[in-house]
Structures are given as C-alpha cells and as structure tokens.
Amino acid sequence: MRTARRQPRLHRTLTIVAAIACALTAASCSGHPASSAAAGDGDMNAGQPALGTIPVLDSPRGLTLPIEAYLLTKNDVDQITHAQYLVVHRCMAEYGFDFKESLTTTPAADRDVDAANVLQRYGVWDPQIAAAYGYHDPAQFAPHPVDPEVPPTDAERLVLFGNTPGEGFEHAAQVYGGRPVPDHGCVGQGQREIGTGIDERLAESINKAAFHQSMLDPRVQAAGSTWSKCMAAEGYQIAEPKDAPGFPVAQNPTSREIEVAKADIGCKRQSNYIGTWYAVDAAMQTSLIGSHEEALAAMKQEARRTLRNAAATLAKG
C-alpha cells in the first residue's frame, strides 16, 4: 500500500520506554496539544505548478523530495531518542530505578527508510519484489521478535512524568524517596536537556497534501490513463494505478496477484507514470514550501538545536 509517510518510527518494547518516545514528538501519544507552531498550515492548495522536463523513471530509487529537507531522518530520530533515554536513565537512577534495558540499541541509519517514503510512494515498481510478493510488503513476512511489555509501577510513573497533565500524578505530591521530582518528571528533564520535541506537523501536512493532490493532477491522470490502456492490452481492466490489483489481496501472495503486479510495473514504465507523478509531486511540494517558508525555517532551526544537544549528550555517554 502506497503512503505519503513511512510508518511511525519510534518503537521500543517497554511501556515506559514507549512513553518516552511519545514525549519526543510535539503531539504526544496521549493527544496533548503541541507547543510548537503548526499555525498557518491551513492553506494546503498547491494548484497546478509548472513543470520542467519530466524525468523518465523506471523506479523511485535514489529520488528525494523537497519536503525531506524539513523531515527528520530515521538516524536523526534514533539519535534524539537515544540521547533522551540516556538523560532519563540517569534521572531515574537517582531515584533507584534501573533503565538499562532501554539502552541496549545504538543509533543506526536505515537507508531504506527515507523521510517521505519515496520507495513506496508511487506503488509497485521492483520486478524482483513483485515476482515474489506481488503487492505485499516484504517487511510483513520478516520475523518480528516481540518482547513482553513491562507495565510501569505507580512509583515509576510518578518519577517518569511528575506533574505532566493527563498522566494521573499532577495533583500528587511531587516527591519520591525524600527527593523532589523534576518538573514533568524525568521525561521533562530529558526534554529540557535535549529539546522540547520535534514538531513535524507542518512538514507532514505538506508531504501528505502534495501526495494526494498530485495523484489527482491532470498530468498524472493522463499518465494513469495510458497505464490503464496498457493494462487492458495485458488483459486487466483497471481504471487507475491506485486501484491495482483490482481485487482484494489474500493474506499471502498468489500467482494471480503476482502476474498483475508484473504487468503493473511494465505499464508504469511504458507510461512513465512514476516519472510524471514524481515531477508533479515535487513541484507541488516546492510550491507549498514556498508558502510556509518562515514556519518551516523555524522548525528546522529547532530540529538542528535538538540534534546538536543530542550529539553532545551521546558524546558524553
């Protein structure tokens, strides 16, 4: 399934650790309002921007989109997350809690996970993957070890979150073991040292708006019509690429699904569907970025500051 954005990037096994990951983002997992401004992101009409030369593309591999300059990479997120874990670990240790389990992994770049999900954005394109998986994502068949979640105790939650609204301890005495709990707990301490959280909502809105609007652009629709005629010649009646394979896929790839996926890729190449859609998508992002340049620049500045703080924390170990 094509999407404008990669799947949520912050996953850890412990319930407590997951809560720390939520605190890194401006819009928390519990739905608390964000502090950073996504104001001014209401105007998301990209229009029909002019295009230069449309590239002829068989695949999206190696492509980048303009909005990626304002989105954190997976490596960025890993660094910020790990740095905040270090701060929270030290803070919790002062109250007698051991957080070593949350520090077993180190930041590592995953080059196949780009910020705008370009590799999955325009549908199937890889003949080798299609021949084995059809329209299924190979990742869903990879083993995913599941560690048991360890629910936090009330004492841990008090020290972890302190007086953070909505966590259940904002009216409790902010003291544990005779020591005052930091404002907003150890998570708050981590945010103060590393950063207040990364607000990517505006950049995400631009990313998604361009994705959906470009799909409906007349130039992309024309390429899709050419694709549909090509598919008809192959024996498949499918109106648009987004409707492929034209039937519900089974839990596992079937020979029928695989044959349609192969034809889909061939017709995308014949119609230059990926090249056309990418060109329109990128042009729309550029237009929308220009309309929100000041707010995006402020977001990027905050992201850089947070990354500098994270690097300094990680360097100290």
pLDDT band, very low/low/confident/very high, at 22 (cuts 50, 70, 90): low
27-61 per-position pLDDT tens digit: 445 443 333 334 444 689 999 999 999 999 999 99
Q: What is the mean pLDDT of residues 286-312?
A: 94
Give domain status of residue 104, yes or no: yes
The DSSP string of the chain is: ---SSPPP----SSHHHHHHHHHHBSS-TT-PPPSS--TT------------PPP--S--TT---GGGGGS--HHHHHHHHHHHHHHHHHHHHTTT---GGGGS------TT--TT-HHHHT----HHHHHHHTTS-GGGGS----PPP-PPPHHHHHHHHTT-TTSS-TTS--EETTEEPPTTHHHHHHHHHH-S-B--HHHHHHHHHHHHHHHTSHHHHHHHHHHHHHHHHTT---SSGGGTTSS---SS--HHHHHHHHHHHHHHHHHTHHHHHHHHHHHHHHHHHHHTHHHHHHHHHHHHHHHHHHHHHHHH-
Give domain status of residue 44, yes or no: no
> How distant, in Å, are the alpha carbons of 87, 282, 285 from that of 210?
37, 8, 6
pTM: 0.81
Q: What is the mean pLDDT of residues 203-208?
A: 96
Structural domains in the chain (count): 1
Give the length of the chain: 317
**Bond prior to 245 in cis (omega within 30° of 0):** yes
Distance CA 225, CA 145 (A): 43
Q: What is the mean pLDDT of residues 7-32?
A: 46
**What residue has token string 């703080």?**
309
**Mean pLDDT lowest for which of 71-85, 220-234, 267-281, 295-309?**
71-85
| pLDDT score for 104 | 43
| pLDDT score for 222 | 98
Q: What is the mean pLDDT of residues 109-135?
A: 86
Percent of the chain with pLDDT over 90: 66
Give domain status of residue 191, yes or no: yes
Instruction: Tell me how far the alpha carbon of residue 160 is from its chain's centroid.
Output: 26
Give domain status of residue 125, yes or no: no
| pLDDT score for 317 | 77
Give domain status of residue 10, yes or no: no
Other beta carbons within 10 Å of 98: 9
Tokens, residue 153: 């105790």
Beta bridge partners of 198: 25
Tokens, residue 199: 């607000």
Q: State the average pLDDT for the chain.
A: 85
| pLDDT score for 20 | 59
Give domain status of residue 32, yes or no: no
Residue 17 has pLDDT above 60, yes or no: no
The DSSP string of 179-214 is: EEPPTTHHHHHHHHHH-S-B--HHHHHHHHHHHHHH
Residue 219 has pLDDT above 90, yes or no: yes
Give domain status of residue 201, yes or no: yes
> How distant, in Å, are the alpha carbons of 16, 158, 183 from that of 155?
12, 5, 15
Tokens, residue 266: 């061939």
Question: CA 245, 246, 250, 254: dihedral to nearest 10 degrees?
Answer: -50
147-203 per-position pLDDT tens digit: 666 778 899 999 999 999 988 888 889 999 999 999 999 999 998 999 866 788 999
pLDDT band, very low/low/confident/very high, at 3 (cuts 50, 70, 90): low
77-87 per-position pLDDT tens digit: 888 989 999 99
Closest CA to 157 of 148, 144, 147, 166: 166
Give domain status of residue 122, yes or no: no
Distance CA 51, CA 137 (A): 32
Range of the domain at 298: 15-20+51-115+136-316
Closest CA to 85 of 182, 158, 28, 20: 20
**What residue has token string 């694709």?**
227
